[in-house]
Amino acid sequence: MGSVRVLAGRGTLFLDFRYEGERCREYTALADTPANRKRLQKALQAIELEIATGTFDYEQRFPGSRRAAHPVAAAAASATVSNAAPEVAPLAAATPAFRTFANDWLTNHSVEWRRSHVRVLRSTIDGHLEEETGPNRHEQTGAGIGRFEKTAFSG
């Protein structure tokens, strides 16, 4: 179980959790306030859920981290694709469905925004963007977004 901790010298918060048997610490510039602790706790819960389900991507979650470039993490990521069956390996690099991408994007960025803004974005995704992706939403990619942009932003 991870924790949100304070860097004593600076008074800023950092995440402390375990991934692939190693202790990981990711530092932030956020001051130690109740609101920031709550935001980071929410992010930590999402990270732990991703780790538990096997969908955690260190480099995607913490792009500037030294650990993202760590050989163990890079080897694990490449092994996942290379050990897949030959017909499955190309699918790993395919573009995700819109719904999957939108949910991942919103989850990853929701800690940066107010709850009211997250509700507005969720409403926009559910009520407008997904309508344009057609009835088979789970099979669609970003093609429907182009149609939405043309209709929404045309003169």
How many residues are recorded in the chain? 155
**What is the reported pLDDT for 88?**
46
**What is the reported pLDDT for 130?**
63
**What is the reported pLDDT for 39?**
92
**What is the reported pLDDT for 94?**
54
For the chain, the domains span 95-155
The tens digit of pLDDT for each residue in 52-87 reads 888 888 888 888 888 877 655 445 554 444 444 444
Residue 133, burial from CB neighbour count under 10 angstroms (0-12, 13-18, 19+): buried
Provide the residue type at 108 as one letter. Answer: N
The tens digit of pLDDT for each residue in 127-150 reads 766 665 554 444 444 555 566 566
Tokens of 73: 């993490």
The tens digit of pLDDT for each residue in 10-45 reads 999 999 999 888 899 999 999 999 999 999 999 999
**What is the Cβ-side half-sphere exposure of residue 126, based on CA atoms within 13 angstroms?**
8
Q: What span, in angstroms and rounded, lies between the C-alpha atoms of 130 and 134?
A: 7
Tokens of 82: 């290379």
**What is the reported pLDDT for 40?**
93
Helix or strand (DSSP H, E) at 11: none
The tens digit of pLDDT for each residue in 83-114 reads 444 444 444 445 566 677 778 888 888 888 88
Q: What span, in angstroms and rounded, lies between the C-alpha atoms of 17 and 77?
A: 19
